[in-house]
Amino acid sequence: MNRQNIIITGASSGLGYTMAKHFAKLGRNLILCARRIESLEQLKIELEQINSAIQISIVELDVTDHKKVFKVFQAAKEQFKDIDRVIVNAGIGKGASLGTGYFAANKETAMTNFVAALAQCEAALEIFREQNSGHLVTISSVSSQKGFRGAFNVYAATKAGLASLTEGIRIDLLKTPIKVTTIHPGYIRTEISHATKKQPFSVDADTGCKAIVKAIEKEVNVAFVPTFPWSIMRYVLPILPLSIMRKFS
């Protein structure tokens, strides 16, 4: 199915920024949301150079402003008539080991990556249920498969929570025209992963997002990307000894 009108949150950098370019090449209309409007303006210029035939709307949005999330999504619905796909991508990776004085940063990560994602899913599904169609995509992480230490502690927990939430939504919507996909990216070199010293099997943003968009377009239930090695590592991570996990991050 051709999902023509797509909302992407967290589109001012990283995966969202690069995914937008790949969808532009496919000729999709884009509603791009992020806090940094200047970056979205630059992205819009680049997308228009890639494909001048598509419609592009940019919106300043902090996803932790839950009321505004609903307003922005509904406004996009009114502007584009139908919203075919929502990609819940906005996220951050702040934080540190618990008990070391970084509660504020850990809380910010939890509120952005999980609670704000919940708001985005709610807002998207209100539209999709009304339309009786649509495709919800959440960007989780391979780190959702195992607890991680240090700065990844809360991040991994939020991504596990998001994956579980998305699976529950998928169960709710079985045998309906509304599709639900969870994407678990491995190490992809972006702003959010820049501070991570150890990134085994990492790929650049363009390579990673090409794999992400390919999986999204197939509308699979769950995808670990890039397929190699993460479709295998998803089974390895849960059984790794904690002494090995301690070496990560």
Question: What is the set of domains in the chain, with CATH numbers?
Answer: 5-245 (3.40.50.720)
Q: How would you class 219 by CB atoms within 10 Å of its CB: exposed for 0-12, middle for 13-18, buried for 19 or more? A: middle
- 10-32 pLDDT, tens digit each: 999 999 999 999 999 999 999 99
| Alpha-carbon gap, residue 200 to 217, rounded angstroms | 26
| Alpha-carbon gap, residue 220 to 192, rounded angstroms | 25
| Coil, helix or strand at residue 173 | coil
- pLDDT confidence of 234, banded at 50, 70, 90? confident
pLDDT at residue 38 is higher than 70? yes
| Alpha-carbon gap, residue 120 to 64, rounded angstroms | 10
**How much is the pLDDT for 194?**
47
Q: Which residues does the annotation mark as catalytic?
A: 155
Let me know how long the chain is: 249
Q: Which H or E run contains 106?
A: helix 103-110
Q: Structure pTM?
A: 0.93
pLDDT at residue 195 is higher than 70? no
Please give the structure tokens belonging to residue 212. Answer: 């992400």
